[in-house]
């Protein structure tokens, strides 16, 4: 029903509870109502009508007229809903600024913890990462800390998702070798990475298929376990390892792809 949809929208987007939303819709429909009249024309329980109307008045959705029988009329929807959005935008700006300040303060407070680099429970060498968001955060972390070389074999759009991060690394002087499958290459044609390739700043080859996509940053390797169902739902399991022996094995596989690859 249209009335139910109006109530849902008021609750979902304009911070009214169920009874407030029902009361406001009734006020818009009938114009002016006393608490007793509201109870008779809406699904707001009679014992709650006074509190609900006072709450609407406080939130700016209604105007009260004192008297023997208190009456309430609605503030026009165009006015109050637009004002709500304007106030919400200002509130969000303040909240964003507060979060930025909190971030800066936390980073400053945590500097001694970060800079000591003293492991409390041993050095971690292996991590299991699940989900596209977590994998993106981990790969970006690798790209921020890489000092010499990136080797990337990609069959699943990793290169295009990390385009800006890879480009920043290259501009800092990091060497990048990129092997991709044809579908990924198609997505890269208008990217910053293709511009870098044309300018001779990265090496790029295309291969028909690869069994083991991977990203190697110096002594770290990141790769996904094969699980098509998990990939479909963006929840595939990926492994991060920091061990020069394992990295050497993956570099050997990467070099196989590189040799098989064709120049673009």
How confident is the model over 80-123, as pLDDT tens digits?
A: 999 999 999 999 999 999 999 999 999 888 887 766 555 544 45
- Single out the residue of 257, 156, 150 nearest to residue 206, CA to CA: 257
Nearest in space to 149 (alpha carbons), one of 255, 62, 233? 255
Q: What is the mean pLDDT of residues 133-137?
A: 79
pLDDT at 206: 92
Q: What CA–CA distance (Å, rounded) separates 160 from 164?
A: 8
CATH for 126-263? 3.30.870.10
Which class for 69: exposed (0-12), middle (13-18), buried (19 or more C-beta within 10 A)?
exposed
**Torsion angle (degrees, nearest 10) of CA 9, 15, 17, 21:** -50
Pairing of strands 175-181, 149-154: parallel
Q: Do the Cβ atoms of 225 and 214 come closer than 8 Å?
A: no
Length of the chain: 264
Per domain, the residue ranges of the chain are 2-75, 78-118, 126-263
What does DSSP say about strands 126-130 and 203-207: parallel, antiparallel, or unpaired? unpaired
pLDDT value at position 114? 67
> Residue 121: what pLDDT?
45
Write out the CATH class of domain 2-75. Answer: mainly alpha
The answer on pLDDT for 229 being more than 60 is no
pLDDT digits (tens, 9 = 90+) for 20-40: 999 999 999 999 999 999 999
Average pLDDT of span 180-204: 88
Q: What is the pLDDT of residue 12?
A: 94
Token output for 5: 């949809």
Average pLDDT along the chain: 86
Q: Whole-prediction pTM value? A: 0.55
């Amino acid at each position: 029903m249209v009335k139910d949809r109006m109530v849902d929208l008021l609750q979902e987007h304009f911070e009214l509870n169920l009874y407030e939303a029902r009361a406001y819709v009734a006020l818009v429909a009938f114009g002016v109502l006393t608490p007793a009249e509201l109870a008779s024309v809406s699904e707001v329980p009679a014992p709650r009508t006074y509190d609900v109307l006072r709450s609407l008045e406080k939130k700016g959705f209604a105007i009260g007229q004192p008297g023997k029988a208190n009456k309430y009329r609605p503030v026009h929807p165009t006015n109050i809903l637009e004002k709500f959005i304007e106030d919400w935008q200002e509130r969000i700006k303040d909240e964003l600024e507060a979060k930025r300040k909190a971030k800066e303060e936390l980073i400053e407070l945590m500097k001694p913890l970060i800079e000591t680099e003293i492991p409390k429970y041993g050095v971690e060498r292996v991590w299991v990462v699940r989900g596209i968001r977590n994998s993106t955060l981990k790969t970006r972390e690798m790209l921020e800390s890489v000092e010499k070389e990136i080797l990337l074999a990609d069959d699943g759009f990793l290169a295009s998702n990390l385009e800006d991060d890879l480009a920043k690394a290259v501009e800092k002087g990091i060497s990048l070798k990129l092997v991709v499958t044809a579908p990924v290459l198609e997505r890269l044609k208008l990217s910053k990475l293709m511009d870098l390739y044309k300018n001779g700043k990265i090496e790029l080859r295309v291969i028909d298929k690869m069994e083991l996509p991977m990203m190697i940053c110096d002594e770290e390797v990141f790769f996904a376990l094969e699980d098509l169902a998990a990939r479909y739902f963006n929840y595939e399991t990926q492994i991060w390892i920091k061990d020069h022996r394992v990295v050497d094995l993956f570099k050997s596989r990467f070099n196989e792809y590189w040799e098989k690859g064709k120049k673009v």
